[in-house]
Structure 1
Amino acid sequence: MPDGAQMDIRLEWLRAFRAIMQAGTVTSAANIVLRTQPQISRMIAGLEASLGFQLFTREGRRLIPTEDGLRFYGHIEPLLINFEGLKDIAQDIKERRGKPLVVAAEPFLLHSLIPEAVDAMHHVTEVGFAIDLCVRELGLWMSRSNVDLAVVALPFTQSDMERVAFAEAELVASLPEDHPLADREVVDIVDLAGEPFVALRPNTLLRSQIDLALMRQGGAFRPVMETGSGVTACSMVARGVGVSISDPIVARSFVGHGVVMRPLSSPMKLTYGFLVEPASTINPLIRKMAMCVIEAVEELGGDFVTTAPFLESRAFPFLAGTAGKGRP
């Protein structure tokens, strides 16, 4: 090959060369790469012409590699192995192997829902996780970061991610185990107003809904303390500080630990939703994680949660057609 000339080496030529090195004859090499013997001969001739040196000498029906041929083979064999591994590399990238699945959630969901969903996910696939806190008051920075899936209470306007409702929950009365109201099957919100009340902070999504519901009945709560965390509120209830109104998943995590939960006579609803980039809905791991979250909501929320109307909709393809359960 003249100095300065452009070298033209084709992948099929390299594969033919490797096949001969491994098999020793053109006939056997042709079977390996699924080509005819004349095609193999032309490929080797083309490769030698492009390289500018001879790769083989012929002894009878066998091709004996030259010294240059042996040196060349030592260099191209690892290159071919790496090239042929590109398919697996691409599949790993597509399925996110080696990269953690980043899940964000509001604080009240991080306590019990997300650990349950992550545990379920580990039973269906091997994937690492990174769990981030989603703070409503600060907005969701995930729209320009690497978070794959967020689980929030809707409405959530602090993000330009796609918002997808997947469940509706009925709020419950959270009561100390030895409280007189714990003997009732159903609790009226007005009865709670007459008790020391552990309230959520005014800037929380549930607080405004709870205040409005009681205001309509002409009552008002007597907060003994306020907190921005539903988990903290239930923890205070367990210690006998007062009563509260809670998300059912949070309340259930304290049942058996000093808290009983009772339905309200006038139900108040909370909608759970995903925040996700539209393009990521095709990712099988994100789809699996979303389904693990839904199943965890159904398991933890019990009769206080319904998913079926949302999963039967066509608003989000990976949720469509998934069986849910609801309160009769």
Structure 2
Amino acid sequence: MTTRRMTLKHIEAFRIVMQTGSMTEAARRLHTSQPQVSRLVSQLEAIVGFLLFERRGTRLLPSLDGKRFFQDVEKAFVGLEGLEGAASNIRSFGGDRLAVAAMPRIAGGLLSKAVAQFKAEHPETLLTIHSGAAATVNTWVSSGLCELGLAILYGDDVPGMQVQTLLTMDCVAVLPIGHRLAKRKQVAAADLEGEAFVSFPLGSAPRERIDRVLAAAGARTRTVLESDLGASVCALVAAGLGVSVLNPLAALEERRNLELAVRAFVPAIPVRLALLLPPDATDSRLVSAFADQVRTVIASDLEVIRPYRR
């Protein structure tokens, strides 16, 4: 003969009858019938080997053993509620930490907006923003110091890194206000012949990419200054020290605070805004959720670069 085992249904029926003092009310709360609740309680009594209730006419009173058993049942349910709380905490990333790296302009703009919106939905998550030049961002992510990076890629994927392209856009020409080329809607590489040029450092991906395009057009510029930060390049151009070519995200952000002309540039030099993940990164709900938040910000807040998006 098979021995019946105690189930959660038995315990739930007993617990609610104890709380309400009524099998009818327990049936209502459990969305079942009163005979079914009575059957579950009777089965539980057979399983535990003692009476849980004393029947006095139509009244149902807990037995002394039933009261003692109910105390242990309540302790078990407190434990279950604790597990529910733990699950909720995990589900909402409570107590989790996420370190994100980005170049200064992205960190101060797009990334900060994504962080603010993410924190509004997940206030218990601690997010840390690290800001640095492109090479520094790559190092932080590849070494595992940061779980996620945001970067502008001027060339192929970063070796040894997982890359997810968020959007592709074309570089623009940046010029001082009043420059002869600022009157045009579009600046060609050949138009920069002889111009003082603010460039990126030798050996960097943007420098090599832009130099190839200028050389192919036969445009010999005079490199007068170098910087590895788009914000600095724009500030130097706005100061009238030269012209430059760089990604539209940095240029249009800086134009809000600087006297700077931004024009379309040909031939097109496509660049990518991308998420960088460590080479051995595993699937993480937290990283995926934050990446989705970044995509949401891009879709809603980067309308300004639409003319230069692909």
Deviation at 1:132, TM superposition (A): 4.1
Deviation at 1:147, TM superposition (A): 2.9
2:262 maps to a residue whose letter is M
Change (3 A) 1:202 1:127: farther
Deviation at 1:210, TM superposition (A): 0.7
**Pair 1:10-2:7 in alignment:** yes
Aligned residues, how many?
A: 297
Change (3 A) 1:201 1:141: same
Instruction: Output the CA distance in 2 between the equivalents of 1:222 and 1:11.
Output: 80
Corresponding residue for 2:40?
A: 43
Corresponding residue for 1:252?
A: 252
Corresponding residue for 1:184?
A: 184
Deviation at 1:62, TM superposition (A): 2.0
Change (3 A) 1:146 1:204: closer
Corresponding residue for 1:296?
A: 301
Deviations 1:169-200 (A, max 9, x none): 12111122243332333333344352332211
Change (3 A) 1:201 1:83: same
Corresponding residue for 1:321?
A: none
Q: 1:21 aligns with which of 18, 22, 26?
A: 18
Instruction: Output the CA distance in 2 between the equivalents of 1:142 and 1:66.
Output: 65
What is the RMSD computed on CA atoms of the aligned residues?
3.8
Runs of 4+, deviation exceeding 6 Å: none
Instruction: Output the CA distance in 2 between the equivalents of 1:10 and 1:143.
Output: 50
Change (3 A) 1:35 1:294: closer
Contact 1:112 1:249 in 2 (8 A): no
Instruction: Output the CA distance in 2 between the equivalents of 1:265 and 1:300.
Output: 19
Q: Which sections of structure 2, spanning at least 5 residues, go unmatched?
A: none
**Pair 1:70-2:46 in alignment:** no
Deviations 1:257-314 (A, max 9, x none): 22111222433221333446785699566434323224433x13131122xxxxxxxx
Deviations 1:59-96 (A, max 9, x none): 22222123443344344335436536756764664454
Contact 2:142 2:161 in 1 (8 A): no
Q: Report SS of the residue matched to 1:267.
A: coil
Q: Which sections of structure 1, spanning at least 5 residues, go unmatched?
A: 1-7, 307-328
Corresponding residue for 1:319?
A: none
Taking structure 1 as the reference length, the TM-score comes to 0.72
Contact 1:151 1:272 in 2 (8 A): yes
Deviation at 1:207, TM superposition (A): 0.9
Q: Which moved more, 1:236-245 or 1:204-213?
A: 236-245
Instruction: Output the CA distance in 2 between the equivalents of 1:41 and 1:223.
Output: 89
Change (3 A) 1:103 1:87: same
Change (3 A) 1:203 1:45: farther
Matches within 5 A, 1:111-260: 111-118=108-115, 121=117, 126-128=121-123, 129-133=127-131, 135-136=134-135, 138-139=138-139, 141=141, 147=147, 150=150, 152-153=152-153, 155-161=156-162, 163-256=163-256, 257-260=258-261
Q: Report SS of the residue matched to 1:264.
A: strand
Contact 2:152 2:271 in 1 (8 A): no
Corresponding residue for 1:262?
A: 263
Change (3 A) 1:63 1:53: same
Taking structure 2 as the reference length, the TM-score comes to 0.76
1:32 maps to a residue whose letter is R
Change (3 A) 1:182 1:159: same
Corresponding residue for 1:83?
A: 80
Contact 1:170 1:267 in 2 (8 A): yes
Instruction: Output the CA distance in 2 between the equivalents of 1:62 and 1:16.
Output: 17
